[in-house]
């Protein structure tokens, strides 16, 4: 690539990524030369400034026309902007948790946590804008490798070491599976660009190998289910959620999960939308029953296993698994509102999950225990914590007047409104939701009706702001969901995601 070609690209499209990359590089250099005993608060402030600057940069791209650079390996469109907003917002809230997280054996590694958080975010953002198998995989690995290290930052904690080891091993296996599936896609089509792959899927020669296309889909999809913690590749989640520091757990449950669904939408929908199955029918329609079973099993396993958990972080891990099952339902229903449903639910999940983990961090750090008993008599000790936690639990359970209810109701109606309607999948979703009432309401019962120590609870100002913001957002989106939906419809043209394959192929050439 010559200099003229390099300068001809519209590099402004990558402004948010450049901000995050520059901030992470600057922080790593600053941390390298800071003395060990020096406070890392300046690094936290710089990290926050970088995330806010990147978020502002993304918001400024709302009216930006579709831009493709680096030979269509990087693509700025409404889809990427919509999900980058969620990623940056979630990372900003997690950053406040991290700045307030106090634990002796993590202080010496606090500096590296901040730039690892930014590199993980950078990988997620690259996945949102990738239009090529290579850049998708690079973004996925950047997110994964940073997450592996963050999960084991508490080096003197055996559970943290165990969680990091299990995460690396299971993540490596999932990566190998995903790459194996991608290799079949490349081998069949001879392309790495997602849109050119979709175009080549209609080639008569490739249509003769319907079995291999179905095989490639299943292998790739199976590998990607690891990132969203869907069954059967979900067993890493409970151990990692328990052993990792609370801010890392919050990041994995929100930002990493969002990135997982982003890569599934980018790769699966674009690549296989024009693919034919074994008998010539649409591949995505043929595999619907299998994805349906996967979603149902994920919902049931997550909710049923959460019933017997006494460790609050493990309980939320299984809750996260069940939530992944709910978000998989739009993939089955093929609803025209699929993007809106997934985006809104991930937005609601961001507020209610990070809010819940904020309270979990306050209580578990003070009690030095992850047992559910840390919530005993919380209403008497600190009603200002008990009330927001109740809001978050009700939202996670899908009770009306919360954002979680609106998100679940939309997904439920999408399953019934599809052609054909998926009644039994909607039934499984209802049963899973009813089961979840048991363990969510159990936490509420412990907070309001179980006596415990009357020790006072102190909440750092930063965490109080996060709690208030998440609680208010959860209620407002539950009462007036049109605020988020109008923002979505007014700023994002998801039809850009389905631009004509032929036009994009001509643009690439």
Would you state the pLDDT for residue 500?
Answer: 46
- Whether residue 277 has pLDDT greater than 80: no
Would you state the pLDDT for residue 108?
Answer: 59
- Whether residue 227 has pLDDT greater than 80: yes
Position 109 confidence tier, pLDDT thresholds 50, 70, 90: low
Would you state the pLDDT for residue 211?
Answer: 83
Q: How far is CA 352 from the centre of its chain?
A: 14
pLDDT of 50-61, one tens digit each? 999 999 999 999
Alpha helices in 36-77 (DSSP H): 41-59
pLDDT of 188-213, one tens digit each? 888 999 888 888 887 877 777 778 88
Report the distance separating Cα 502 and Cα 83, nearest Å: 26
In the chain, the percentage of residues whose pLDDT exceeds 70 is 94
- Residue 4: inside a domain, yes or no? no
Report the distance separating Cα 261 and Cα 120, nearest Å: 15
Would you state the pLDDT for residue 172?
Answer: 92
User: What is 134-187 written as a DSSP string?
Assistant: HHHHHHHHHHHHHHHHHHT--TT-HHHHHHHHHHHHHHHHHHHHHHHHHHHHHH
- Whether residue 228 has pLDDT greater than 80: yes
If you average pLDDT over each of 98-107, 149-158, 253-262, 413-422, which comes out highest?
A: 253-262
Would you state the pLDDT for residue 292?
Answer: 92
Please tell me the least confidently modeled range out of 10-14, 317-321, 356-360, 497-501.
497-501
- Residue 328: inside a domain, yes or no? yes
- Whether residue 348 has pLDDT greater than 90: yes
Enter the pTM of the model. 0.93
Residues sharing a CB contact under 8 Å with residue 113, sequence separation 6 or more, in sequence order: 98, 106, 150, 153, 247
Would you state the pLDDT for residue 504?
Answer: 43
Q: Is 37 exposed, middle or buried (0-12, 13-18, 19+ CB in 10 A)?
A: exposed
Would you state the pLDDT for residue 273?
Answer: 77
- Residue 8: inside a domain, yes or no? no
Please tell me the least confidently modeled range out of 101-105, 261-265, 298-302.
101-105
CB 210 within 8 A of CB 277: yes
Q: How many domains does the chain have?
A: 1
CB 169 within 8 A of CB 233: no
Sign of the alpha-carbon torsion through 234, 294, 302, 418: positive
Position 491 confidence tier, pLDDT thresholds 50, 70, 90: confident
Structure tokens at 312: 């609050």
For residues 479 and 110, the model is more confident at 479
For residues 6 and 308, the model is more confident at 308
CB 132 within 8 A of CB 271: no
- Whether residue 501 has pLDDT greater than 60: no
- Residue 354: inside a domain, yes or no? yes
Give the mean pLDDT of 121-141: 94
Average pLDDT, the chain: 88
User: What is 205-254 written as a DSSP string?
Assistant: HHHTTHHHHHHHHHHHHHHHHTTTT-TTTTTHHHHHHHHS-HHHHHHIII
Q: Which helix (H) or strand (E) holds 471?
A: helix 461-479
Q: Tell me which residue has tokens 């020669």.
A: 205
Give the mean pLDDT of 312-338: 89
Phi/psi region, residue 375 (left: phi>0; alpha: psi -120 to 50; beta: rest), is alpha
- Residue 7: inside a domain, yes or no? no
Position 502 confidence tier, pLDDT thresholds 50, 70, 90: very low
Would you state the pLDDT for residue 155?
Answer: 79
Position 272 confidence tier, pLDDT thresholds 50, 70, 90: confident
Q: What is the longest distance spanned by two Cα atoms in the chain?
A: 73
If you average pLDDT over each of 1-5, 39-43, 186-190, 390-394, which comes out highest?
A: 390-394
Sign of the alpha-carbon torsion through 21, 73, 335, 431: negative
In the chain, the percentage of residues whose pLDDT exceeds 90 is 57
- Whether residue 425 has pLDDT greater than 80: yes
Task: State the Cα torsion 399-403-404-407 to the nearest 10°.
Answer: 120
For residues 208 and 69, the model is more confident at 69
pLDDT of 293-313, one tens digit each? 999 999 999 999 999 999 999
Would you state the pLDDT for residue 104?
Answer: 57
311 - beta bridge partners?
A: 371
What is the residue range of 168's domain?
Answer: 16-508
């Amino acid at each position: 690539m010559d200099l003229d070609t390099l300068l001809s690209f519209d590099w402004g499209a990558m402004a948010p990524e450049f901000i995050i990359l520059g901030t992470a590089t600057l922080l790593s250099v600053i941390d390298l030369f800071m003395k060990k005993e020096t406070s890392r608060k300046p690094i936290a402030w710089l990290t926050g400034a970088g995330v806010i600057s990147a978020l502002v940069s993304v918001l400024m791209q709302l009216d930006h026309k579709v831009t493709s650079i680096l030979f269509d390996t990087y693509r700025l469109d409404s889809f990427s902007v919509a999900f980058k907003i969620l990623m940056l917002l979630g990372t900003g809230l997690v950053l406040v948790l991290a700045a307030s997280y106090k634990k002796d054996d993590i202080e010496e590694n606090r500096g590296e946590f901040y730039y690892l958080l930014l590199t993980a975010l950078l990988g997620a953002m690259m996945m949102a804008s990738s239009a090529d198998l290579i850049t998708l995989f690079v973004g996925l690995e950047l997110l994964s490798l940073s997450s592996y290290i963050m999960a084991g930052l508490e080096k003197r904690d055996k559970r943290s070491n165990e969680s990091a080891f299990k995460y690396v091993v299971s993540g490596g296996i999932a990566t190998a599976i995903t790459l194996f599936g991608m290799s079949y896609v490349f081998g069949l089509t001879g392309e790495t660009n997602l849109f050119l792959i979709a175009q080549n899927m209609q080639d008569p020669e490739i249509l003769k190998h319907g079995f291999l296309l179905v095989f490639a889909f299943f292998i790739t999809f199976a590998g990607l289910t690891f990132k969203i913690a869907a069954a059967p590749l979900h067993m890493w989640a409970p151990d990692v959620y328990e052993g990792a520091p609370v801010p890392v757990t919050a990041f994995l449950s929100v930002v990493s999960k969002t990135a997982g669904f982003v890569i599934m939408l980018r790769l699966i929908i674009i690549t296989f939308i024009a693919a034919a199955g074994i008998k010539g029918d649409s591949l995505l329609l043929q595999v619907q029953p299998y994805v349906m079973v996967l979603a149902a099993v994920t919902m049931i396993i997550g909710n049923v296993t959460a019933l017997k958990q006494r460790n609050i972080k493990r309980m939320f891990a299984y809750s996260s698994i069940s939530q992944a099952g709910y978000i998989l339902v739009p993939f089955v229903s093929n609803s025209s509102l699929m993007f809106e449903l997934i985006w809104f639910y991930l937005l609601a999940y961001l507020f209610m999950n990070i809010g819940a983990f904020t309270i979990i961090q306050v209580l578990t750090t003070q009690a030095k225990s992850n047992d559910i008993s840390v919530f005993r008599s919380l209403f008497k000790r600190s009603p200002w914590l008990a009330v927001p936690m109740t809001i978050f639990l009700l939202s996670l359970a899908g009770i009306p007047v919360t954002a979680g209810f609106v998100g679940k109701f939309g997904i439920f109606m999408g399953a019934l409104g599809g052609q054909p309607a998926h009644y039994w999948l909607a039934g499984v979703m209802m049963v899973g939701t009813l089961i979840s009432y048991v363990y969510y309401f159990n936490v509420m019962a412990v907070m309001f009706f179980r006596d415990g120590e009357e020790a006072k609870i102190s909440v750092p100002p930063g965490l109080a702001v996060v709690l208030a913001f998440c609680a208010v957002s959860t209620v407002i989106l539950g009462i007036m969901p049109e605020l988020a939906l109008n923002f979505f419809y007014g700023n994002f043209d998801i039809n850009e995601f389905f631009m004509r394959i032929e036009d994009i192929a001509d643009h690439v050439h």
